[in-house]
């Protein structure tokens, strides 16, 4: 099978603006992935979370982790065993997470997502992941998993 480039993997991630939380994949191999994203001040969720003191909701941070560590990384790993056309027929579903939140992400913050593969088998992926602020502090981290299922 053909190994996909970082740009090809990003292009195959089904989430799009305004719900894509990956600007660029900076590192990618069989064992890990790294991406970056800048939370734009005009993201719709800041309007109500919290007026006058906006912070990124935890569910959005979890989605940010999932898009890089489960969806994008899963696409890359699947490309090792199946053709691109077949990968496009899969939908990656989030299945589990054990994540600890330890910092706040604010409008304008640049974050880095790092994920290390624990396993990838039968199109199920599990990783250890962390979301880091620009100063290197951890905003959230833990294990997260998902699986690719054929779209109907």
Q: Which residues pair with 96 in a beta bridge?
A: 145
Domains and CATH numbers, the chain: 6-150 (3.10.129.10)
* Catalytic residue check, 49: yes
Model confidence pLDDT, tens digit, residues 24-38: 999 999 999 999 999
Name the 3-class secondary structure at 16: coil
Largest CA distance in the chain: 51
Active-site option among 20, 32, 40, 49:
49
pTM summary value: 0.95
| CA nearest neighbour of 77 among 41, 112, 29 | 29
Model confidence pLDDT, tens digit, residues 27-79: 999 999 999 999 999 999 999 999 999 999 999 999 999 999 999 999 999 99
């Amino acid at each position: 099978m053909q190994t996909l480039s970082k740009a090809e993997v990003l292009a195959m991630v089904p989430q799009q603006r305004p719900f894509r939380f990956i600007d660029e994949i900076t590192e990618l191999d069989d064992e890990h992935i790294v991406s970056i994203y800048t939370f734009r001040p005009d993201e719709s969720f800041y309007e109500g979370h919290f007026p006058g003191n906006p912070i990124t909701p935890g569910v959005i941070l979890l989605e940010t982790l999932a898009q890089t560590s489960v969806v994008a990384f899963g696409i890359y790993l699947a490309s090792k065993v199946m053709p691109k056309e077949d990968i496009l027929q899969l939908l990656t579903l989030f299945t589990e997470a054990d994540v600890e939140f330890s910092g706040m992400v604010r409008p304008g913050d640049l974050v880095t997502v790092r994920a290390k593969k624990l396993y990838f088998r039968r199109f199920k992926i599990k990783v250890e992941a962390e979301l880091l602020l620009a100063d290197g502090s951890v905003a959230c981290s833990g294990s997260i998993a998902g699986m690719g299922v054929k779209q109907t």
